[in-house]
Structure 1
């Protein structure tokens, strides 16, 4: 199974998405660390597989309140991005955004090739074995390097770890909210 592009902070507070049914879904794409310099730039850790989409005039949303802002300019600084928002020129005032998650609307994400999914699309899916047994709900995705690992919470309050590989993940049906898996027999 193809690696899924990340849509959540790896070690930061995980607050992407919307807790209320019917509200817009937000996906984390960055983490503002601190103001940089005196011209209104912020140092941002990039949490998206599509950093090229961070362009001037793009709308982003800051923090748990999803405050709307627009990008004025961006530039790279080593592994981080320096980002400036339109109308925000005071470096001191930007301090309120220190350690803040940056979001985009999920429906504005680029489409992925068939068989690939964003993490936020998979979280919450019902997981069923290829024998029809309900196993639980996909609650977390662990990024291990070689392949992702899906953590499924069972009705018995246990956890099942499933490697995101073709031999295990047989199908994903987003419309039905279901993932069919083949449980491996480990000797």
Structure 2
């Protein structure tokens, strides 16, 4: 299963089973276009058809098939809201974080490690790489990141001088 996390169920909203969702995406309008979602809690996952979606300020409210009471909705408090990766629209440029995380990062022929997390710093993103020598923080700059092969799960970088101590 290739799923992408897009939100978390906060709690029921109202008496008819509507779910109040905290979105983990900057594009809240994406919820209005969805036909279905996957609710996941640990190893348990359930697919649901969306009946109605609405956005209010910075929250999303979903009415989904098979959940029609506050008691049923309460069972999903804290569950992840996911979609199938195929439903994620392609970016005009760049990559989604989930596409980068898990990539092998190389400088030339030397494996530096695995990109474990993308950190948003404000100025530019920073890639956290975990390897045999611990963690390395690499700035996500065009001068550093030379090539990204999403399908091959590989990133090639040229580290700035002094970033690694020998």
Q: Same fold, TM exceeding 0.5?
A: yes
Map 1:97-176 → 2, pairs under 5 A: 97-114=76-93, 116-129=94-107, 131-156=108-133, 158-176=134-152
Number of equivalent positions: 161
Distance 2:78 2:123 in 1: 29
Structure 2, unaligned stretches of length 5 or more?
Answer: none
Change (3 A) 1:127 1:56: closer
Query: Which residue pairs with 1:69 in the alignment?
Result: 48
Question: Any unmatched runs of 5+ in structure 1?
Answer: 1-23
Query: Shift of the alpha carbon at 1:51?
Result: 2.4
For 1:55, what is the secondary structure of its paired residue? helix
Moved more, 97-106 or 118-127: 118-127
Aligned to 1:87: 66
Residues 3-41 of structure 1 show CA distances to partners (whole Å, capped at 9, x for unaligned) of xxxxxxxxxxxxxxxxxxxxx211101111000111221
Question: Counterparts of 1:93 and 1:46 in 2: how far apart (Å)?
Answer: 21
Q: How big is the shift at 1:56?
A: 6.7
Offset, 1:57: 6.3
Moved over 3 A (4+): none
Query: What do you get for the CA RMSD once the two structures are aligned?
Result: 1.8
Question: TM-score, normalization: structure 1?
Answer: 0.79
- Structure 2 distance, partners of 1:112, 1:164, is 17
Asked if structure 1 preserves the Cα contact closer than 8 Å seen for 2:39 and 2:45, the reply is yes
Moved more, 132-141 or 49-58: 49-58
Structure 2 CA distance for partners of 1:181 and 1:81, relative to 1, 3 Å? same
- d(CA) in 2 for partners of 1:168 and 1:97? 43
